[in-house]
């Protein structure tokens, strides 16, 4: 059935063309779109989204996939593509085109309400559009189906097989261990990192960020960087991957690690097989694995002493006055300061997981219906004081700080912590298989890391689940112990414990 497989490829590439055309419009919406274009842009995105869904869920698509499922002549990659597409088809058949368009319209309204809410620092503007979206997400969970918890259906969209039960188990292991470590760090003299909070010219920061992206092998012939309200990565194929960053002239850390973080995401997208465009094996494994790539580059490498032994002299040349008298060890300790903070994207490696856990707990309650959007500010503020010991001063620095809910991305947040756990486990394997890795990174050579990821992570697409990919790469399924060991060794050393 060679002709039928070619028909399958052509059809799914056509669907991908439509989806990525919508993605281009969404990228423009978050970067360059003039304000008056918002309403019409929402219509355009909704039309394309609905069209792609209708084409994907057409009975002819199902008939083609059912025919190919029975074909014994397919090679293993072709068969995997067809099997995964058929799974996706059956799942998407549960959502009719009318519902998909309604969801797209709700997301568009919610996103623009979030933008306005942030500008006016007023959650009430966002509250009703968000509640409308939550109601649709509850319906989506019902349509998709679940065994134990409605949130499972949404989590499964981001990482196949991820559940409330498995995630609760990981947090139950992670959070107490981090709390003990945080208590120990709090007994030590706090690190002074005020040198990061001076005036750093945005144009000079931008140029340095571009150099960091080039250093980690981001291909500017297959991508670009822009400015957005919330840093993100998007792709339209493996040869066109866009990242954005946010620059604060009074905080060098903001731009620096958002560049490295989004760069890690982008390397994964650029490394996916171009010849599988539009097919499952040309798509990322899961958002947990995607996040492992950004966190590995941002933290395991980008906040390491070897990395800055190479880059700090260049940074000092760019900002000689601001970094005068600061040693590379001072810088390393400063960028790894552990202290509770309001903003998740600016949080240190340890308290970051409390930010994620708080969002995860709130999302579970929203989807199960035990709370509604109007309850979010009060619960958010209560949890931040309970788990991080800080008072939230306003909505912009509290429950309006993340864009994800405005996009309808419920079920996503746990992948941030799970991705960090995967990153630590991958890094443990990389370090064990190459004992010279620190020396290589200190000399400016990160090629062996990039090469390992090109072999173990990038080329597989969705062929494996997250757990299967992890076991193939590291010899074990996911364990929180690797992140806990990594964190204990790193931060006890930094704080002199």
**What single-letter DSSP state applies at residue 275?**
G
Cross-strand partners of 223: 241
Which residue, chain included where needed, has tokens 């465009």?
Answer: 277
**18: Cα within 13 Å, side-chain hemisphere:** 17
| Residues 203, 214: Cα–Cα separation, whole Å | 17
User: In a structure prediction context, what are the per-residue pLDDT tens digits for the chain, which is 497 residues long?
Assistant: 668 999 999 999 999 999 999 999 988 988 889 989 988 998 999 899 889 999 999 999 999 999 999 999 999 999 999 999 999 999 988 988 889 889 989 998 999 999 999 999 999 999 999 999 999 999 999 999 999 999 999 999 999 999 999 999 999 999 999 999 999 999 999 999 999 999 999 999 999 999 999 999 999 999 999 998 778 899 999 999 999 999 999 999 999 999 999 999 999 999 999 999 999 999 999 999 999 999 999 999 999 999 999 999 999 999 999 999 999 999 999 999 999 999 998 899 999 999 999 999 999 999 999 999 999 999 999 999 999 999 999 999 999 999 899 999 999 999 999 999 999 999 999 999 999 999 999 999 999 999 999 999 999 999 999 999 999 999 999 999 999 999 999 999 999 98
| Residues 208, 204: Cα–Cα separation, whole Å | 6
| Residues 325, 30: Cα–Cα separation, whole Å | 40
Cβ atoms of 132 and 102 within 8 Å: the answer is: no
Cβ atoms of 456 and 296 within 8 Å: the answer is: no
| Residues 376, 352: Cα–Cα separation, whole Å | 19
Report the pLDDT value the prediction gives residue 56, as an integer from 0 to 100: 94
| Residues 274, 210: Cα–Cα separation, whole Å | 24
CB atoms within 10 A of CB 131: 16
* Domains contained in the chain, CATH given: 2-94 (no CATH), 164-494 (1.10.1370.30)
Which residue, chain included where needed, has tokens 């306003």?
Answer: 394
CB atoms within 10 A of CB 488: 16
**408: Cα within 13 Å, side-chain hemisphere:** 21
Question: Sign of dihedral through CA atoms 64, 70, 72, 75?
Answer: positive
Residue 245 is encoded by which pair of tokens? 């960053």
Report the pLDDT value the prediction gives residue 1, as an integer from 0 to 100: 60
Nearest to 215 by CA among 259, 248, 270: 259
| Residues 277, 283: Cα–Cα separation, whole Å | 8
| Residues 67, 11: Cα–Cα separation, whole Å | 15
| Residues 172, 164: Cα–Cα separation, whole Å | 12
Options 50, 262, 283, 291, the catalytic residue? 262
**106: Cα within 13 Å, side-chain hemisphere:** 20
Cβ atoms of 405 and 109 within 8 Å: the answer is: no
Q: Which backbone phi and psi does 322 adopt, to 5 degrees?
A: -65, -35
Report the pLDDT value the prediction gives residue 114, as an integer from 0 to 100: 95
Report the pLDDT value the prediction gives residue 2, as an integer from 0 to 100: 67
| Residues 464, 285: Cα–Cα separation, whole Å | 7
Cross-strand partners of 120: none
Element (H, E) at 271: helix 252-271
Cα 445 to its chain centre, rounded Å, is 26
Residue 47 is encoded by which pair of tokens? 């039309």
Query: For this structure, is 262 an active site residue?
Result: yes
Nearest to 360 by CA among 139, 111, 171, 156: 171
Which residue, chain included where needed, has tokens 């998709």?
Answer: 144
Q: Which backbone phi and psi does 293 adopt, to 5 degrees?
A: -70, -40
CB atoms within 10 A of CB 298: 23
Q: In sequence order, what E strands does 26-127 have?
A: none
Question: Sign of dihedral through CA atoms 75, 61, 273, 411?
Answer: negative
């Amino acid at each position: 059935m060679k002709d039928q497989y070619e028909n399958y490829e052509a059809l799914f590439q056509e669907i991908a063309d439509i989806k990525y055309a919508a993605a281009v419009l969404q990228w423009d919406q978050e970067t360059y779109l003039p304000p008056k274009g918002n309403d019409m842009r929402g219509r355009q995105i909704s039309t394309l989204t609905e069209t792609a869904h209708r084409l994907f869920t057409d009975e002819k698509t199902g008939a083609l996939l059912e025919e190919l499922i029975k074909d014994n002549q397919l090679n293993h990659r072709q068969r995997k593509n067809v099997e995964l597409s058929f799974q996706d088809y059956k799942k998407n058949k549960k959502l009719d085109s009318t519902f998909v368009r309604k969801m797209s319209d709700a997301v568009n309204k919610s996103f623009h309400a979030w933008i306005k809410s942030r500008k006016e620092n007023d959650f009430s503007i966002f509250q009703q559009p968000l509640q409308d979206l939550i109601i649709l997400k509850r319906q989506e969970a019902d349509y998709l189906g679940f065994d134990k918890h409605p949130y499972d259906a949404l989590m499964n969209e981001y990482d196949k097989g991820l559940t409330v039960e498995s995630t609760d188990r990981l947090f139950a292991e992670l959070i107490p261990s981090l709390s003990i470590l945080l208590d120990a760090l709090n007994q030590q003299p706090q690190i002074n990192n005020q040198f990061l909070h001076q005036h750093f010219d945005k144009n000079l920061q931008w140029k340095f960020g571009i150099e960091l992206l080039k250093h980690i092998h981001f291909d500017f012939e297959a991508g670009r960087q822009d400015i957005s309200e919330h840093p993100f990565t998007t792709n339209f194929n493996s040869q066109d991957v866009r990242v954005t960053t946010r620059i604060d002239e009074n905080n060098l850390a903001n731009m620096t690690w958002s560049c490295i973080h989004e760069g890690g995401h982008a390397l994964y997208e650029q490394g996916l097989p171009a010849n599988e465009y539009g097919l499952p094996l040309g798509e990322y494994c899961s958002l947990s694995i995607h996040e492992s790539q950004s966190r590995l580059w941002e933290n395991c490498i980008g906040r390491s002493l070897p990395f800055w032994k190479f880059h700090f002299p260049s940074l000092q040349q760019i900002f000689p006055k601001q970094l005068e008298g600061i040693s590379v060890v001072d810088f390393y300790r400063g960028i790894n300061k552990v202290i509770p903070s309001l903003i998740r994207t600016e949080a240190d490696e340890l308290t970051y997981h409390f930010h994620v856990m708080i969002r995860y707990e709130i999302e579970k309650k929203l989807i199960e219906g035990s709370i509604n959007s109007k309850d979010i500010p009060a619960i958010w503020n209560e949890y931040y004081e309970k788990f991080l010991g800080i008072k939230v001063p306003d909505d912009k620095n509290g429950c309006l700080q993340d864009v994800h809910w405005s996009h309808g991305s419920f079920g996503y947040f746990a992948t941030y912590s799970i991705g960090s756990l995967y990153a630590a486990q991958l890094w443990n394997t990389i370090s064990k298989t190459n004992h010279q890795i620190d020396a290589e990174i200190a000399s400016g050579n990160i090629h062996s890391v990039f090469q390992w990821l090109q072999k173990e992570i990038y080329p597989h697409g969705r062929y494996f689940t997250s757990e299967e990919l992890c076991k193939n790469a590291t010899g074990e399924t996911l364990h929180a112990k690797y992140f806990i060991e990594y964190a204990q060794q790193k931060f006890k050393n930094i704080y002199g414990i």
